[in-house]
Amino acid sequence: MKIRQHPRMHGILIGDEVYCYPQHLYARVVETFPAAVCVKVAMLSINGHLELITSPQLWRADDIENLSVCRYCGTRENVRVDATTGVPFRVCTSCKPT
Q: State which residue, 29 or 92, has the beta carbon closest to Zn ion.
A: 92
Residues near Zn ion (CB under 5 A): 70, 72-73, 92, 95
Please state the closest distance from residue 30 (CB atom) to Zn ion, in A.
Answer: 26
The Cα–Cα gap between 59 and 41 comes to 11
CB 43 within 8 A of CB 59: no
Nearer to Zn ion, 6 or 96 (CB): 96
Residue closer to Zn ion (CB basis): 37 or 70: 70
Minimum distance, C-beta of residue 89 to Zn ion, in the bound complex (Å): 11
The answer to whether residues 64 and 87 touch, using CB atoms and an 8 Å cutoff, is: no
Give which of 69, 65, 75 is closest to 90, Cα–Cα: 69
